[in-house]
Amino acid sequence: MLNTPFLWRLPAAALRTSLIEMAPDGALGREGVALWLGRRTAGVVTITHVVGLRGPGVVKTPNHLSISAELLDDVTDVMIENGVYLVGQIHSHPSDWVELSDADRLFGIQAAGYLSVVAPHFARDPDTPPDRCGFHVHDRGRWRRLGTWERSWRVALTRGVAPLILVGGCRDER
């Protein structure tokens, strides 16, 4: 657990902003995604920004999503400008299923301590409570889901804000 944070501070507003960001894709019956940027100090990650992705560099379908290297390069520019790094993401799946898919496990970002949250029902409801989502951490070279008890003390929903930053394409482009 040396490289895995013991606590993620997630502003409730960031979770809601992320769900709102993904809802239009969900209304179209496809997966949505938002990236989370933040800082890490002494094993505590604080999520500070939500990134919405736009343009041809992000592909969203009912059972697949991908982000191009070029779009991730643009996200890197935003990270440098804000003095933060990529600490996690949230994406959506159909129905109540909030586990990571095989593709998520194999092709998703695999960095120690990275948090990957899965929202149900294509994130159509911006008021989806956190306990309906699946919280997964990349720990010791593999993904594992945080159980309800562990999530309750390792992911602290906080007050505060995490502004939405749109990267790539036009603002209205999804």
Q: How many domains does the chain have?
A: 1
Length of the chain: 174
User: Looking at this protein, which amino acid is placed at residue 28?
Assistant: L
CATH number of the domain at 41, please: 3.40.140.10
- Give a yes or no: residue 123 inside a domain: yes
Range of 146's domain? Answer: 7-166
- Give a yes or no: residue 174 inside a domain: no
- Give a yes or no: residue 25 inside a domain: yes
Q: Which pLDDT tens digits describe the chain residue by residue (174 residues)?
A: 457 788 999 999 999 999 999 999 999 999 999 999 999 999 999 999 999 999 999 999 998 899 999 999 999 999 999 999 999 999 999 999 999 999 999 999 999 999 999 999 999 999 999 999 999 999 989 999 999 999 999 999 999 999 999 999 764 555
Distances (CA, A) of 168 to 50, 58, 85, 149, 174: 14, 9, 18, 38, 10
Short-list 44, 47, 20, 49, CA closest to 32: 20
Nearest-5° Cα angle at 33, 17 to 147? 85
- Give a yes or no: residue 171 inside a domain: no
- Give a yes or no: residue 131 inside a domain: yes
Separation CA 162–CA 49 (nearest Å): 4
- Give a yes or no: residue 53 inside a domain: yes
- Give a yes or no: residue 71 inside a domain: yes
